[in-house]
Chain A
């Protein structure tokens, strides 16, 4: 899928900042920094992966800086970043 650099979210407590960039490598490369990495790191990676795959994105560099966001917030930020990166509006 054609893609450019894009981001969504903030560094506020309870939010997550998602940056998506095109890559030559296969698969999703997720670089996660989280204030709750020990307890929820796996779960956050899973939500990011599932959300992107659900939008048909299986190849991208993803940088995520999490400040304790809930799953619904993570899905919303990942979706917004993906829409900005691909130009494909999933909400229409």
Chain B
């Protein structure tokens, strides 16, 4: 077999035809362990590229080296689902001239598919790849160094980018099947020492909580689900990564066993908790856009009923076939919820960007029942507020807010409020929750926002939803 695709990173970049001002893309399946973004951007800087648009599915703490590349003019625009750590802090203080464009996972998939977000060159890490470019997030040889499972966020990039470079730390013999990314979409394959540290996939947002308040919130959330009217045989469910929403799965499991109810599928970021329920026969299928820990990644490697989906198939608003349209129940977390049920998951109450939109607005809008679980206060920071710092998920898609001081139900869903009251749950007015928070902490002073727009939040339909301004220090 004549092999022309396997080349050095520098040669792959040269071949791609990348020019100053173009758009490069990355996926974040290795989350806090990602090594591809820093490696590729350092090489682009070394080769003298300037003015590039970095369009990642998300960015985290580990991407702090981008700060230097932004200062040096290598990267002048960023599109992402989220930002964390020092990079987020610098950007919040006005590091970039152009605002960062934030999209949900479904919104990013739609924007790539429609051409609104055009990718010139995609640099996609894979745990295994053959020399023709068939790539997977699963290990396929004894020499495998990494595993990330689903490559769901990389699939639109692979399909729609003009040029695709796969980076892998395990080049295997053809054919690398089952594949996630087809060789027909791939132009170059680059072998690197490491694409990512798999042990850090479950870092960042995901916490397994022993906090008694989280467990109380989880119990309340489980009671809401069980009494919501949607908890019946064949239901479907998605959970976020907050400690309470993960803990809620445990209580739902007990009730499923007791009542003899089984779920048809679990969606989204798949965790070890969901894999366990699936293996016990309580959940029929796992529909996985992102494997949130090593157990989930290993499951997708071996289990036919654990299926990878692209971010378009997962959560696109523009594609009627996307999975969120079939989703019954979603449990989500929040940094802030306001009295109109609007949610912020991106910007902290100190005005600093510290999170990611993820699939929050996608699942909230399209699911039959969306439940936000958050404490009333985190330290002195209120989570139920008069008005969110930044609007991410509009309140019309948010049905129930669970706090340790009571459960608020969106007035648009009186039938759910009725069912929860009938079950003896403490249903309260969300204005009372906000007032309770203020009575404990006092009135916060206004944040010192400046005049510079550092971020633009796009809604999942491609319209501007909100702006994030710089924090003055």
Please report A residues at the B interface, Cβ cutoff 8 Å: 13-14, 35-36, 38-43, 67-71
Contact = CB atoms under 8 A, between A and B. Distances in A.
Contacts of B381: 36, 68
Interface in B340-385: 349-351, 378-381
A32 B167 CA distance: 48
B444 A40 contact: yes
Contacts of A40: 380, 441-442, 444-445
Nearest to B447: A38
B440 interface: yes
Contact of A70 (B351, B380, B444, B445): B380
Contact of A35 (B379, B441, B442, B448): B379
A8 to B, nearest CB: 18
Interface in B261-318: none
A38 B444 CA distance: 8
Contact of A43 (B351, B440, B442): B442
Size bracket of the B interface: 10 to 19
Given A38-B351, A39-B349, A39-B350, A69 B380 contact: yes
A32 B444 CA distance: 17
26 contacts: A14-B379, A14-B380, A35-B350, A36-B350, A36-B444, A38-B351, A38-B445, A38-B448, A39-B350, A39-B380, A39-B445, A39-B447, A40-B380, A40-B441, A40-B442, A40-B444, A40-B445, A41-B445, A42-B445, A68-B378, A68-B379, A68-B381, A69-B380, A70-B440, A71-B441, A71-B442
A45 to B, nearest CB: 12
Contacts of A70: 380, 440-441
Given A39-B447, A70-B380, 20 more contacts: A35-B350, A35-B379, A36-B379, A36-B380, A36-B444, A39-B380, A39-B444, A39-B445, A40-B442, A40-B444, A41-B445, A42-B445, A43-B442, A67-B379, A68-B378, A68-B379, A68-B380, A69-B380, A70-B440, A70-B441
Residue from A35, A36, A67 having most chain B Cβ neighbours under 10 A: A36
A12 B445 CA distance: 23
Nearest to B382: A39
B31 to A, nearest CB: 23
Given A39-B445, A40-B445, A70-B441, A13 B379 contact: yes
Contacts of A39: 349-350, 380, 444-445, 447
Nearest to A74: B380
Residue from A38, A40, A42 with most neighbouring chain B CB atoms (10 Å) = A38
A42 B378 CA distance: 19
A14 B441 CA distance: 12
B137 to A, nearest CB: 35
B448 A69 contact: no
Contacts of A68: 378-381
Contacts of A13: 379
Contacts of A38: 350-351, 445, 447-448
Contacts of B441: 40, 70-71
Contacts of B351: 38
Contacts of B350: 35-36, 38-39
Nearest to B350: A38
Contacts of A42: 445
A55 B87 CA distance: 45
B69 to A, nearest CB: 29
A67 B381 CA distance: 10
Nearest to B352: A38
Interface string B411-445: 00000000000000000000000000000111011
> What are the nearest 6 A-B pairs in CB distance?
A68-B379, A39-B444, A68-B380, A14-B379, A36-B380, A43-B442
Contacts of B444: 36, 39-40
A48 B378 CA distance: 21
A68 B349 CA distance: 12
Contacts of B447: 38-39
- Residue from B351, B441, B448 having most chain A Cβ neighbours under 10 A: B441
A78 B342 CA distance: 38
A40 B443 CA distance: 8
A13 B380 CA distance: 10
Contacts of A36: 349-350, 379-381, 444
Interface string B91-120: 000000000000000000000000000000
Given A38-B350, A38-B351, A39-B350, A69 B442 contact: no
